[in-house]
Structure 1
Amino acid sequence: MCDAKRYEEAISLFNYFFNESQTLPNMLSCNLIIKAHCDQGCLDDALDLFSHIVLDGRLSPGVDTYLILTKALVDAKRLDEACVLVASMGRC
C-alpha cells in the first residue's frame, strides 16, 4: 500500500493490527508507516510513533529508521532536531 502511495489505508491497517488487535509490529512495518507519515507531511506523527517505539522498548529502531526521520527533519528544515536524533543514535 505504501509503494502505491495508499498511505491512509496503510496507516489504518497498521492501527487496526497493532493498536486495536494488540499485535506486536516488526520494525519493517513501523518504518513503512513512519515513512508514510513523512511522505504525507505529518512529521510529528512519525516522530510520535518513533517515540512510542523507543519508550515501549520491545522493538529497537535501526539505521533505516534514523535515516528516514533524519531526512524528513532536514527536509522540514528542523535541523536542530535532526542533530539531536543523530546524536541519540550513538546511544542505541
Structure 2
Amino acid sequence: MSDAGCRIDVWLWRARFLRTRSLATAFVERGAVRLTRDGRQIRLDRAARPVRVDDILVFAMGGRLIELRIEALGTRRGGAAEARALYILAAPSAPGG
C-alpha cells in the first residue's frame, strides 16, 4: 500500500495490538473498530479498509476502551518502542463527563 494509507489489519498488527494478522483481521471484521476521519465516524467491517496518519481509532481491548490517533503507518512489525511510535493515546476523560 502507498504512503497515503495502510490496511487496518496490517496497522493493528504493526502497532502490536494483536499478535497475528489473522487475529487483527478477525478483530476488524467483528466490527470492533471505529474510525474517525474528517469528523465522520464509521465502524470498520473489512480488514482491507485503509487507515491514514491523523485518523482516530476507538476499540475495546482487555476490558479497556482504547482511543488513539495514528501518527505513522510503519513499514514493518518492529519492537515495542517502534510500535509505540505509530500512535498517540488520547487522554482519558474525567469521570462523569
TM-score by length of 2: 0.26
Higher RCO (CA-CA < 8 Å; seq separation 6+):
2
TM-score by length of 1: 0.27
Structure holding more strand per residue: 2
